A and B are shown apart, each in its own frame.
Chain A
Amino acid sequence: MHYHPMTDQNRDDMLKKIGVSAFGDLLKGIPSKLRDVKMNIPEALSEWELQSRFKEIGARNATLRDHLAFLGGGSYEHFIPAAVAEITGRQEFYTAYTPYQAEASQGTLQAIFEFQSMIAELTGLDVANASHYDGATSLAEAALLALRQTDRHKILVARSVHPHYRQVLKTYLAATPFSVEEFGFDPGGVFNPDDFKKRLSDDVAGAIFQTPNFLGAVEELEGVSDQLHQMGALLILAINPIALGVLKTPGEWGADIAVGEGQPLGIPPQCGGPYVGLFATTRALMRRIPGRLAGITQDADGKRAYCLTLQAREQHIRRERAASNICTNQALCALTACAYMTLMGKEGMREVAELNLDRAYYLREKIAELEGFHVALDVPIFNEFMVQSERPWDQLEPHLAKAKIFPGIPLSAYYPELKNTLLVCATETKTRSELDRFVEVLSQC
């Protein structure tokens, strides 16, 4: 085996040094009835065979490269500078362990610190952690934080929050005494303030909104944090980090916690993961934050040093009293996001957000002109919006498939009332001719 250096000769020598005559002598403690293992696993392939085989398997996928795709819904196609993969591919980052030994991990620790700084900056909040598994689990952990902080039992969540995130939230809370209550949205997709107000009571720990939300609408949240804070509850906002280049920050909305999916920050969609959960909060809640935090301190010579900090929150110290059970997170994805944000820089982050607006608004206007399709033009959006078709999408699908177009995500599976409605996404990756082609094919459906 080309990963295993041990030869038969080595084995014999080592057994002698260990002082046993056969390998089996080392396993005497294992009950013999457990030793009869039969595994049905195919025999090894050479690397050349593997390469051809996996190319062949890969060819059974349709991709965002060979199709014109308008899919969003929590995973986005964005331009990724080539330098990102080169930086992330540095094996000293790639094959390192969690930076428990700070002296041997200054590279990872400083990168995490820079990542935290940029996420705090984007969200307009004080502190961000080193990352979470994904946007959905970040959101669930934020709810748990709010429940613990307020010692209350109920979480309010907008129905316009990503349905998968709401499902994960429910999974996380199912075994606990805590409950989740949802409030609705208006026809255009923005949350319904009356429904929200009606459900707000003094047993609510926090309320979760997403902006731009799953239906593509950018929420107007003026006064929401005041309403919640007066009630003693927290505001949790799920965000899209790319949108925060131009959109109002969770900090500016008065949010206590911001969570989100970091995938848009330079991470390929790769069928759903690995991604990176973003988690930011205020100084007041800093000591309840789940997951790793890197900080700056001094070393024994008084030099600047980076280390993991506030570890008293964590499982390896606190065991059953920890703030969360999270251990390993998504460090390499956080590094990817960090490299992406550093390359984009101050101007790039603003420009890419502006380009998303430009493409999405353009496409929405064009589709609005088509017969048989309806969009709400008065709803503010970022890079996604709803398109309602007069005919069932199933009927249009063959035409679109023939043109190698993934038109969007059908919403009726999540929202039965949104019949024949598609969530359509256009990011900066789309050119005028591509958008026009999509509109053209739609018009011929």
Chain B
Amino acid sequence: MLISKDDRLSFEKSKPGRRGARLPKQRLLESNALDLVPPSLKRKQPLLFPELTEPEVVRHFVNLSKKNFSIDTHFYPLGSCSMKYNPKINEWVAKLEQFAWTHPMQKDETLQGTLEILYELEQCLKEVTGMDRFTLQPAAGAHGELTGMMMVHAYHASRGEQKRRKVLVPDSSHGTNPATAALVGYEVVEIKSNPRGRVDLEDLKRHCHDETACLMLTNPNTLGLFEEQILEITKLIHGCGALLYYDGANMNALLGICRPGDMGFDIVHLNLHKTFSTPHGGGGPGAGPVGVKAKLIPFLPSMHIEKKGNHYEVVRDGQKSIGRVSAFLGNVGILIRAYVYIRTLGLSGLKQVSEDAIMNANYLKEKLKRIFPVAVDEPCMHEFVLTLQKLKTKGIHSGDVGKRLLDYGFHAPTVHFPLVVDEALMIEPTETESHETLDQFADAFRKIAQEIEEDPDLILKAPHTLPIRRPDEVRAARNPILTYRDLAGKDSPETASVR
């Protein structure tokens, strides 16, 4: 069989005395180095680690890798995730020894190559978004949001407006928006969507006042719809003295088409692992640079790269800076990949990204809406949302259809999100998929619709062809087994005594 049925942990394959790496035998000290460590500082608990040879370790992980869907093996139409192809030249550059084997504490003059790339990347991101300056430090989208909201706080505090304690988020927003606002201590106020899936301007008006700190907005929103009244929204928010935050999760729709900076956004975060093609890695690392308008520049995190003549320099913060948000310069390896992508595509290639992404989404929407209704049936941007409401009478949910798609060799779309759509399936094909793939995907949908009529159980119990059937998540949460020790019941003396 192609996919190994072995589900044992490395620990369970371990045999005492085996090893997967050899280290130098030579010792420089006359005595054993361990004897130099006072006994009270030494580890007593033996290390329960796997013992395997290198070929065993490699086979273990290669077989594991085959139990994954990935962009390189499957179509991955996850809404708001921009699962596009991850170009290999990005990897080739980032892994060059000249970049990978540099230390963050080296002096600027020994890092001119890396600093040049970071500087140039910032210039490109400014052009793409229409913002005045970027920080490249945040390690992920949610980290960028946090950085942005800390700047919102610092900005209002600097103006003596501490009473601005409310952050507005549309009910269609990503979960990270309210979670981030709460982390910075804000009260979260949800703004309703109108029947066309956009921000309800009347509801927004009611919440624009002198206690409003910020509106966090995704545009196009999570329904894949452009907020057509964006200029009115901007006016309302700025009119009450609040700031406008742009969640860049959906920036893949806008490259060269329009810019958040021109719309009036004050702060923007980008997800380089979405729009700028860096790999998702099974859940990171990404990068979440944050761009701001001039009035917020003083509040940016503490390091910025400047070009002086032909020399690049890391400039430390001013007094109003929110400070450092990660240990060093940020996820430099990811930033390099994103810059390579920009240079590979160039100006016209970048514009093509969004045009093709929008075309693919509208094309697929036309095909799929004949099978299941679209939440808001209008031209969409780079993604769209179906509603599977009518299946509820059969006891079938959008998540079930997602599971069945796995059997057809397609990753599930984003399911049960956005929350404003009942039984949502959120679909983003991206620009790197061909219409042949989209046609095959639509065919699978058609077949599933038929199966729902003929044999609903097939859907309810899907998937049937993957390494596992549906996992019992309730059991996992009730009786958490989170480590090999939990599984094997090998309590350490310390933990046993604590319980």
Contacts and interface: CB of A to CB of B under 8 A. Distances in A.
Interface string A311-340: 110111111111011111111110100010
Contact of A295 (B34, B85, B476): B476
Contacts of B328: 74-75, 134, 164, 271-273
A443 interface: no
Given A37-B256, A54-B340, A113-B483, 15 more contacts: A6-B356, A44-B349, A90-B61, A93-B281, A102-B470, A110-B9, A110-B64, A110-B67, A117-B11, A120-B482, A133-B143, A270-B101, A295-B476, A333-B284, A348-B21
A404 to B, nearest CB: 10
B102 to A, nearest CB: 4
A274 interface: yes
A40 B42 contact: no
Interface stretch (A152-160, A173-181, A195-203): A173-181
Given A92-B66, A113-B9, A319 B49 contact: no
B354 to A, nearest CB: 10
Contact of B259 (A37, A124, A247, A301): A37
List 9 tightest A-B contacts by C-beta distance, closest first.
A272-B328, A332-B281, A58-B98, A44-B346, A272-B104, A274-B285, A331-B283, A315-B179, A357-B33
A162 to B, nearest CB: 7
A328 B47 contact: no
B38 A320 contact: no
Nearest to B470: A300
Contacts of A352: 23
A211 to B, nearest CB: 9
Contacts of B470: 102-103, 299-300
A94 B134 CA distance: 27
A102 B114 contact: no
B67 A95 contact: no
A292 B284 CA distance: 11
Contact of B71 (A67, A96, A105, A177): A96
B33 A268 contact: no
Interface in B8-58: 9-11, 14, 18-21, 23-24, 26-29, 32-34, 36-38, 40-45, 47-52, 54, 57-58
A368 B146 CA distance: 46
A272 B327 contact: yes
A297 B142 contact: no
Nearest to B434: A5
B252 to A, nearest CB: 13
Interface string A299-310: 111011111011
Query: Which one of B176, B256, B330, B482 has the greatest number of beta carbons of chain A within 10 Å?
Result: B482
Query: Which range holds the interface residue count of chain A?
Result: 35 or more
Contacts of A3: 84-85, 87, 345, 431-432
B20 A95 contact: no
B347 A42 contact: yes
B72 A14 contact: no
Interface stretch (B200-208, B235-243, B317-325, B443-451): B317-325
B176 A327 contact: yes
Query: Which one of A45, A105, A128, A431 has the greatest number of beta carbons of chain B within 10 Å?
Result: A105
13 contacts: A29-B378, A74-B104, A83-B54, A93-B64, A113-B482, A120-B485, A126-B482, A271-B333, A275-B327, A295-B482, A296-B486, A299-B472, A355-B24
Interface string A7-22: 0001101110111100
A86 to B, nearest CB: 7
Contacts of A269: 100-104
A26 B29 CA distance: 73
B284 A251 contact: no
A6 B483 contact: no
